Amino acid sequence: MLRAVPVVRDDQLTRVETLHRTLARANAQRLRPRRTAGDFETELEQETSIRRLERQFVEEQRACVHAQANAVPKDPSGFLDWFVGLRESELGQTDPLFPWLAEHATQKQMCWFLEQERSNETTFGDLVALTQVNMPARPKQELARNYWDEMVRSHATDTPRSAVQCPKHTPQPESAVWESLALGNLMVALATARHYAFQSLGALGVAELTAPRSKQFVQTGLLRLGLSVETPDYYSSSTRFDALHSAAWQREVIEPLIASDSSLAPLIAEGALMRLHAAARSFERYRRELWSPPRLVADFEYADGPARVSAPPVAPPTQTHVGSRVGSSAQPGGSSGLRGWSVEAQPFEPRNVAPNPRHAPAFRTVHWPEVSRRAH
């Protein structure tokens, strides 16, 4: 299986990468059921150090979105309009990675992507369960319904049962890129620390809001490749519940909380924005790894055979939507480029291909309505 980065000694890693590998290992140990406490005093000291690192990380992320979160509407209706607008944000939600996965990724590349996404052991349902503790009755009831659906109803897979499975693999923090671990560490930190409980509601809520689009693309790619995942998870579960979950989350969790206390609006917004920023960083790193020239030469698929190497499909420039942007969607001089990449940050220089359409790679843009029709 592809590995995004080699497993190297900690002294060779960057500070941020070391931080997130440390936090991921600590979270896995902290949340895993055990028979005994072990050396309690030593583990307590280690836990204190880890929690300090975790808090520093979360506070740095909060500082990055503080101004934007404080500017959100404080009334329930206005806040929900802003919140739903995040679905069209360019913070990862229009990332060209997902149309590429749907149309062009090989089995090896798709399995690598799924490995990265499953690198954190804490599932969405676990995060919901941790977040709902001592919440007010109405939001708590909706969180309980959501948890039940996550555990039981939504695991009806959309991929053929006879499909080829990705290789059996136990996700390990060492096999994941640090950006993926950072997203998992953020979600665990928000769900386990009660002073971040409302940020956790925002982060989980925006995950429900944005899930259908990315899931549809990934499931279309799985169907194309004849792949299934070994166990039910985020990308194998049916998408038909996601829209219902999101609407219920807005109506039964966010709206009553802000109606009762408008000061919660910036906190919920912080969680949503931190989640979007962390996801966008992950998607950008996935593109760098999957679209690098060596892997492109080895693994990129064409409809008419691997006679030539060229860049993945180039997305057209788009207008700015709600939320901050990652990189630029339009290149200087009017030329279009990959959304989320500056000219200097392009993973490689696109190469010209022969003008003869019979010999040109059969790339084409995949639009959301088309993927939606395919998946259903």
Q: Give 12-68 pLDDT, tens digit per residue.
A: 468 899 999 999 999 998 898 988 888 889 989 999 999 999 999 999 999 999 999
Residue 222 CA from chain centroid, whole number: 17
Contact 159, 222 (CB under 8 A): yes
Dig out the tokens for 276 from the structure: 């979007």
- Asked if 350 and 310 count as a contact pair (C-beta separation under 8 A), the reply is yes
DSSP 338: -
CA distance 150 to 116: 20
Residue spans of the chain under pLDDT 50: 1-10, 12, 154, 156-163, 231-232, 296-311, 313-376
CA 152 to chain centre: 22
Q: What is the DSSP letter of 304?
A: T
Inter-residue contact 216 to 239 (CB < 8 Å): yes
CB 276 within 8 A of CB 92: yes
Whose CA is closest to 64, among 176, 186, 184? 186
**Contact present, 154 and 222 (Cβ < 8 Å):** no
Per-residue model confidence (pLDDT) at position 22: 93
Question: Which domains are delineated in the chain?
Answer: 14-298 (1.20.910)
Q: Read off the pLDDT of residues 301-333 as tens digits, 9 standing for 90 and up.
A: 333 333 333 345 444 434 333 333 333 333 333
Q: Is residue 188 a contact partner of residue 32, using CB atoms and an 8 Å limit?
A: no
Q: 303 by DSSP, 3-state: which?
A: coil
Residue (of 263, 275, 271, 254) closest to 135 by Cα position: 254
Backbone torsions φ then ψ of 178, nearest 5 degrees: -65, -30
Rounded-to-10 torsion of CA 196, 197, 203, 206:
-150
Q: Show Cβ contacts of residue 244 under 8 Å, excluding neighbours closer than 6 positions.
A: none
Half-sphere exposure for 99 (CA within 13 Å, toward CB): 20
Give the pLDDT of residue 89.
Answer: 76
pTM: 0.72
pLDDT at 167: 64
Pair type for strands 227-228 and 164-165: parallel
Q: What is the pLDDT of residue 3?
A: 35
